[in-house]
Structure 1
Amino acid sequence: MDLPTKNQWRQFFKILSREEKIIFSLFLFLFLVSFSFLSIIFYFKNTEIRPAAGGTFVEGVIGRPRFINPIFAPVSDVDQDLTELVFSGLMKYNPEGKIIPDLAGGYQIFESGKIWEISLKENLFWSDNAPLTVDDVIFTIETFQNPDIRSPLRPSWLGVRVKKISDSKIGFELENPSAIFLENLTLKIIPKHIWENISPQNFPLSFFNLKPIGSGPYQLKNLIQDKEGKIILLDLIRNPNYHGKTPNLQQISFQFFDKEEDLLSAVENDKISGFAATNLTNLTNWTNWTNLSFSLPRYFAVFFNPDQSKILAEKEVRQALNYGTNKKEVVSQLGANQSSITESPILPEIYGYNLPSKTYQFDLEGAKLLLEKAGFLETQTGIREKVIKKELAFQFKSNLSLGSQGKEVEELQKCLAKDKEIYPEGEISSYFGPKTKAAVIRFQEKYDQDILKPFGLEKGTGKVRKVTREKLNEVCFEKPEEIIPFKFSLATVNQPRLTELANLLKSQWQALGAEIEIKTYDISTLEKEIIKPRNYQAILFGQVLGMIPDPFPFWHSSQVRDPGLNLALYKNKEGDKLLEEARQNLDEGKRKELLEKFQEILIEDAPAVFLYNPDYLYFVSKEIKGVKAGIITDPSQRFADIENWYIKTKRVWKSPSHQPK
């Protein structure tokens, strides 16, 4: 059937009356509105919003970049942030904290964890278009191992031999099986063709540290310096050679600040898209921000040094300090949403392990009883003291009488000569003569209640026997005592949060009868002059585990001296054995069992007071989507899924599998 022509439509309208034209127009209008409405419903029902490419994300950070280079980046949070975005490793962390392939296509493990073989993905390139090969991986590992480079990550690669198996496969041979080696493989790879002709001495000086060539999702676009030469802005753009998913964000800009107040001022003025900060009291407008809380396998504790403090060498004292610590108050002061109580250095709440069977719940009276058991008693000063009776350096042990001679006679004469009424002559000859005998008689008669009366005697005998000896020892020699006050010093970093916490602990332990001296240092001084030589009695400090828990560096007896990190100088043979076995066992279930056994031993010994596990708080503008909080080992890993962050969106037709049925 043919549709009416244009002329026929004109004729149609001519024959309609005015009322009919109005009715027809109304029906036509309703039809068009209904059609449009149904079309819109159909469109929205059959399409979905998805991330679109584009947009600039602005990150605000405190500090400035120096080494955008995996070799040196671990010493600076700013450098680590940029390295995370510009470089790739054989493996990487996903947002759930799992280690997954990155540059690696896969891996195989042989000889119970002593041999690892890694296959590279195909068609890998650096941001300057040069191919990324097995040779780059080997060069990177050997660079880290080079003592002249002085990389902070060098210890992780000692005892590891790397070799080229083929153009696409690398082999690693370990001295001992290792369950944690997979985490080593998250190391970022550097380009051999850029760095191979630079001497170790010039590595820190190379301009490639600030103009990096990498293989990560982003590459350097430009950096801007102020008149003083300080970098104030750095722009990254998407790396077209990136082997992974293309990021949605077109550009990431880093703005650098010297002080947290300056950063928060920029936040208030809407110049920042994302930031992390500790002092948020000055930030007033939270409506445009999303607060993300990342879990960190990190804990803060007070570590006791038994080599520097006699009282902290006593187990009962350490246990009392544990019971006397109100951890709920600690977490409350830090901010309830910023940290959680921890009872163990293996962080069972992070890794899914069982809590220790023994925990030190706050018990002030129980703590006091333990201190009394250890001999620390209350005094009028409020500071507990322990009195230790010491053996005399010299005591009369022999029977002495006329004719005796020697050292004991000499000491007898010295003692008797102190009292002019007993031995007015005061002669010191080492010979027991009549004058000495007369002096002994006078001594016996002076103390007749103890020496003569018990035996019914009225006059002294002039002979030194058991009862006389005992009285001589009592009178002649003041029995020495050592008074040990319940006092020790607590060292920490001079950061507001930690100094406030140290003062809180001081207050809590004062209630036990302890006197605490707080000593604060800048981080550099603390590490070099306090931690390295173990020059502290107690120290408030933090320790970080990896995604694969390995307490060995912090609690094995081989690590009590620098560069080991056993800050409590803890030694336990059974504990050492469990840590060694756990480190080499690739079976997760068996490792869990071993570490839980170690946990029980350590908690009983109480070498430290475990306080809290901090969260990493990160704030992003609500216009930024796709950001997910998860488990990270360091703050830079908040960018682990940067490819999924987005600002812009678009509507696309749903795939058939997503169509409503």
Structure 2
Amino acid sequence: MAQRIRWQMLIAAVSALLIMALLTALALSTTTASQPLTGGVYREALVNGPPQQLIPLLNEPLNDPSGRDLAALLFDGLMRVGPHGTPDYALAQNWQVDPTGTVYTCQLRQDVVWHDGIPFSADDVLFTIQSVQERDFPGDPALTAFWRDVLVERIDDDTLRFTLDAPFAPFFNAARLPILPAHLLSDVPVDQWPVSDFARQPVGTGPFRLIAWDDQSARLEANADYFVQSPFIDQIELLFFDDTQTALLALFDQQTIQAAGYIATNNLAESQLPRPPDMQVSQRPLDGYTVLTFNLESDLLEDQQVRQALAYGLDKDGLIERALQGQAMRLDTPILPGWMVHDPQLAWYAYLPEEAMALLETADMEAPVLPLITDTNPQHLAVARDIANQWGRIGVDVQITELDRDTLRQRLQQRDFVLALHSWARLSADPDIFELWHSSQANDGLNYAGLQDDAIDTALEEGRTRSDSQTRRLHYQQFEQRWIEVVPSIVLYQPIYAFVSSQTIGVPGVDTTDGTVSPLLIGTEDRYRQSYQWFVESSREINPTLP
């Protein structure tokens, strides 16, 4: 009897150990994931003060990023930037392009309503584009210049036809133009839009609708009828701050604010505020770059050997570490990596100061003096000084002149410079950089370097007229190769911006660990690309991984 009990106790003990081992293995091989729930209020601190203009066609994004942020939540275009950084459908449901590449027929979605409940239709698209085409349009003249050459025809309530003068591959990118409601603005003269009631209380088709706003904050609520999906978040509150330090203090000290965006990474590094352990930082490159532009008409820089020598004499990686504390992404050509046409195999000039000095000697450039102009931006000044120090070691004397931003722009437009350090911003989602580097833009356009090269012209012309993605990639890579050979300028770096947020919320599309999302942001407001999927309320779901 006693022996039988001992065996039973042994079996029970072994069984208990096996169960414990199984539970331990299950615990170690099980993960949990946040599953979004509907509800809650999302609060974000914006660094650039209150918005100045909420009508997106009138907003100046470089001077009014907060206005651009709000507009991104309120409005849609026919197309949008998709998760991979390429054009995707928004208000448009389908496109048909004729064999010539000049006639685009657009079928609109039929499930879209404005925030006031009025159905969206082709009339709204026609009205918006015709308004942009007007002589008195108070927005960006470049919008008017482009759309004035496009014939837009209404076929029926849900169909439009766009006719272009010539094939234009970036047309779908241009079709991201925000659409405005004809029923609210058709009786308002376009030059009166900035002071209209609509400017104070805009109505869009976006994932959120505006409830109220003032100089301190803006409050939005979910658009339950949004055509993609009803947002998870019930309300969004954007709080406006004038500087990074104040915004981060509010984020770190107040439990009610969940995020701050978008913040330049150098400002985040310089803030020296202790970051709470539950805060995460997502970093993304923006669609722009800082460049050292050579005036190719200058006697000092007309020799390609001299320009190559200057390229060999500049350590970009060291410059970024010293002048920018590593808070930028090195760039070697004007083609951004996020555009998906960049050739990563192309090699820029290695840092070889001895080669630089040898080339300068061959070019008979002994102790050259190069004047460099830039603006008063602290980053630009730090970069300019680092360049001067580096080139001083190869025998080049760089003399820096600080100018206000408007004067710098004027000097660039007049080609009144030898070297100019400046930045390009908001280059868009398409790699079409025709206006910056084609010879037709050398005299009075944006080709400040004065670059005139047949091979580069051909690559840029084919890149903007050929719609096939592989063909476009080939032409832009040919552009890159030739651009490196000619060295018309030295592209230095892309800016990186940071989004600081609590780990308790979900921000799909912003987290840089998400490999399905293009890392390139098309303007800082592009962080809201998938805002309808953001959440502040969630549940934990067990995902076992045992076989």
With normalisation by structure 1, the TM-score equals: 0.71
Q: Which of 196, 206, 209 is 2:199 aligned to? A: 209
Structure 2: which amino acid aligns with 1:203? W
Q: Which residue of 1 aligns with 2:381?
A: 499
Q: Which of 560, 566, 575 is 2:456 aligned to? A: 575
Question: What is the CA distance between 1:222 and its match in structure 2?
Answer: 1.0
Q: Which residue of 1 aligns with 2:6?
A: none
Q: Which residue of 1 aligns with 2:441?
A: 559
Q: Which runs of 5+ in 2 are unaligned?
A: 1-18, 511-518
Change (3 A) 1:287 1:523: farther
Q: Which residue of 1 aligns with 2:321?
A: 332
Q: CA RMSD in A?
A: 2.7
Question: 1:9-20, aligned counterparts within 5 Å?
Answer: none
- Are the equivalent residues in 1 in contact too, given 2:40–2:233 (CA < 8 A)? yes
Q: Which of 404, 413, 427 is 1:532 aligned to? A: 413
Q: Which of 262, 274, 281 is 2:259 aligned to? A: 274
Provide the secondary structure at the position in 2 that maps to 1:500: helix
- Are the equivalent residues in 2 in contact too, given 1:126–1:241 (CA < 8 A)? no
Change (3 A) 1:136 1:66: same
Q: Which residue of 1 aligns with 2:112?
A: 124
Provide the secondary structure at the position in 2 that maps to 1:144: helix
- Are the equivalent residues in 1 in contact too, given 2:93–2:108 (CA < 8 A)? yes
Q: Which residue of 2 aligns with 1:177?
A: 167
CA distance in 1, matches of 2:541, 2:476: 50
Q: Which of 234, 258, 261 is 2:245 aligned to? A: 261
Question: What is the CA distance between 1:333 and its match in structure 2?
Answer: 3.0
Question: What is the CA distance between 1:525 and its match in structure 2?
Answer: 4.0
CA distance in 1, matches of 2:104, 2:504: 44
Question: What is the CA distance between 1:48 and its match in structure 2?
Answer: 7.7
Any idea what the Cα deviations from partners look like across 1:519-545, whole Å, max 9, x if unmatched? Answer: 333434433x23333333222222353
Question: What is the CA distance between 1:336 and its match in structure 2?
Answer: 6.9
Matched, 1:142 2:23: no
CA distance in 1, matches of 2:540, 2:483: 57
Matched, 1:318 2:293: no
CA distance in 2, matches of 1:575, 1:259: 42
Any idea what the Cα deviations from partners look like across 1:396-455, whole Å, max 9, x if unmatched? Answer: xxxxxxxxxxxxxxxxxxxxxxxxxxxxxxxxxxxxxxxxxxxxxxxxxxxxxxxxxxxx
Provide the secondary structure at the position in 1 that maps to 2:105: strand
Question: What is the CA distance between 1:223 and its match in structure 2?
Answer: 1.5
Change (3 A) 1:647 1:332: same
Identity of aligned residues (%): 29
Q: Which residue of 1 aligns with 2:54?
A: 68
Q: Which residue of 2 aligns with 1:31?
A: none
Question: 1:57-456, aligned counterparts within 5 Å?
Answer: 57-61=42-46, 62-75=48-61, 76-152=64-140, 153-224=143-214, 231-270=215-254, 272-275=257-260, 276-278=262-264, 279-280=267-268, 281-282=270-271, 283-307=273-297, 309-333=298-322, 338-348=327-337, 350-355=339-344, 357-377=346-366, 384=367
CA distance in 2, matches of 1:355, 1:157: 34
Matched, 1:602 2:511: no
Q: Which of 456, 467, 471 is 1:590 aligned to? A: 471
More deviation, 587-596/197-206: 197-206
Matched, 1:640 2:540: no
Change (3 A) 1:327 1:652: closer
Q: How many residues align?
A: 501
Structure 2: which amino acid aligns with 1:374? A
- Are the equivalent residues in 2 in contact too, given 1:52–1:649 (CA < 8 A)? yes
Question: What is the CA distance between 1:113 and its match in structure 2?
Answer: 1.7
Structure 1: which amino acid aligns with 2:99? E
CA distance in 2, matches of 1:366, 1:254: 53
Provide the secondary structure at the position in 2 that maps to 1:539: strand
Question: What is the CA distance between 1:284 and its match in structure 2?
Answer: 1.4
More deviation, 145-154/51-60: 145-154
Any idea what the Cα deviations from partners look like across 1:184-216, whole Å, max 9, x if unmatched? Answer: 111110111222222233122223223111110
More deviation, 251-260/331-340: 331-340
- Are the equivalent residues in 2 in contact too, given 1:330–1:611 (CA < 8 A)? no
Structure 2: which amino acid aligns with 1:155? A
Any idea what the Cα deviations from partners look like across 1:304-361, whole Å, max 9, x if unmatched? Answer: 1133x32022222211111111111122136576332222112357525324655211
- Are the equivalent residues in 2 in contact too, given 1:94–1:641 (CA < 8 A)? no
Change (3 A) 1:117 1:336: farther
CA distance in 1, matches of 2:406, 2:181: 31
CA distance in 2, matches of 1:523, 1:272: 34
Q: Which residue of 2 aligns with 1:513?
A: 395
Q: Which runs of 5+ in 1 are unaligned?
A: 1-33, 225-230, 378-383, 385-485
Q: Which residue of 2 aligns with 1:545?
A: 427
- Are the equivalent residues in 2 in contact too, given 1:293–1:615 (CA < 8 A)? yes
CA distance in 2, matches of 1:101, 1:265: 39
- Are the equivalent residues in 1 in contact too, given 2:373–2:402 (CA < 8 A)? yes
Q: Which residue of 2 aligns with 1:3?
A: none
Matched, 1:56 2:41: yes
Question: What is the CA distance between 1:217 and its match in structure 2?
Answer: 0.5
Any idea what the Cα deviations from partners look like across 1:274-327, whole Å, max 9, x if unmatched? Answer: 2222312222124222111223343221011133x3202222221111111111
- Are the equivalent residues in 1 in contact too, given 2:339–2:430 (CA < 8 A)? no
Any idea what the Cα deviations from partners look like across 1:348-392, whole Å, max 9, x if unmatched? Answer: 575253246552111111111111111112xxxxxx0xxxxxxxx
- Are the equivalent residues in 1 in contact too, given 2:339–2:431 (CA < 8 A)? no
More deviation, 70-79/348-357: 348-357
- Are the equivalent residues in 2 in contact too, given 1:58–1:252 (CA < 8 A)? yes
Matched, 1:623 2:504: yes
- Structure showing greater radius of gyration is 1
With normalisation by structure 2, the TM-score equals: 0.85
Provide the secondary structure at the position in 2 that maps to 1:234: strand
